């Protein structure tokens, strides 16, 4: 039975040219004002909480300037990435029907190996940590894309839970960085790779 109060809208608005158009396409064209509000307000709140965590633990005292920059960029990227990739506009854009869409999503995930390499300069046992999580991330992404669409969400959740648990047991991070793996795998495996219908209330325009 359908929901009379909800509409699934796969319509992708036209995007402009130049840098504004590129940014619009990267973030997902047609972003609504509520989506912007949630991303900005929610992002500020979450990054502030991470900053509080780092200050509370005092971990920053042991970091070089480069390491502090890496952690700061990672926090902004992962928080922003989770919120952006969870929006209707991003789901509609990255899961639209087009040739090579799955490959493009996997390339996007693969690019985050660079993030893992950079974070390896901060976390304990950096080389092993980066390599192990790169394997977990790429294997999880390939699995999510390979399974039937109706089970991609739970499979992505399995991959997320497995990665977090493996890290807790074998490659635990200091408290100040305990968010890195959950946020990274949530952003990419769940928010980016899982197709979801872009829902809106019927009365919205």
Q: What pLDDT does residue 76 have?
A: 97
Residues 6-60 have pLDDT tens digits of: 777 777 777 766 666 677 676 777 788 889 999 999 999 999 999 999 999 999 9
Say what the pLDDT of residue 159 is. 98
Beta bridge partners of 8: 199
- Is the pTM higher than 0.85? The answer reads yes
> Residue 157's closest CA among 133, 191, 129, 132?
191
Q: What is the pLDDT of residue 21?
A: 65
Q: What is the pLDDT of residue 16?
A: 67
Q: Please say if the pLDDT value at position 164 is more than 90.
A: yes
For 160-169, letters b (16+ CB in 10 Å) and e give beebbeebee
What is the model's pLDDT at position 13?
74
DSSP one-letter string for 72-118? HHHHHHHHHHHHHHTSHHHHHHHTSS-TTHHHHHHHHHHHTHHHHHH
- Domain locations along the chain: 6-201
pLDDT of residue 186: 98
Taking residue 100's Cβ as centre, other Cβ atoms within 10 Å add up to: 8
Output the DSSP codes for 130-183. Answer: HHHHHHHHHHHHHHHHHS-GGGHHHHHHHHHHHHHHHHHHHS---GGGTTHHHH
């Amino acid at each position: 039975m359908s929901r009379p109060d909800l509409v699934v809208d796969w319509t992708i608005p036209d995007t402009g040219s130049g840098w504004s158009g590129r940014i619009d396409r990267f973030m997902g064209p047609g972003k609504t004002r509520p989506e912007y509000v949630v991303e900005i307000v929610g992002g500020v709140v979450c990054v502030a909480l991470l900053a509080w965590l780092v200050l509370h633990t005092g971990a920053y005292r042991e970091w070089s300037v480069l390491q502090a920059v890496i952690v700061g960029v990672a926090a902004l990227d992962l928080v922003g990435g989770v919120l952006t990739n969870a929006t209707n506009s991003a789901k509609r854009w990255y899961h639209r029907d087009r040739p090579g869409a799955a490959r493009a999503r996997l390339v996007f995930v693969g690019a985050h190996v660079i993030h893992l390499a950079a974070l390896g300069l901060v976390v304990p046992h950096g080389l092993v940590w980066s390599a192990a999580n790169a394997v977990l991330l790429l294997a999880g992404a390939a699995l999510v894309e390979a399974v039937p669409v109706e089970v991609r969400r739970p499979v992505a959740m399995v991959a997320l839970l497995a990665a977090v648990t493996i890290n807790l047991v074998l490659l635990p991070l200091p408290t100040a960085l305990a968010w890195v793996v959950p946020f990274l795998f949530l952003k990419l495996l769940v928010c980016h790779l899982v197709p979801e219908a872009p829902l809106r209330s019927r009365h919205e325009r």
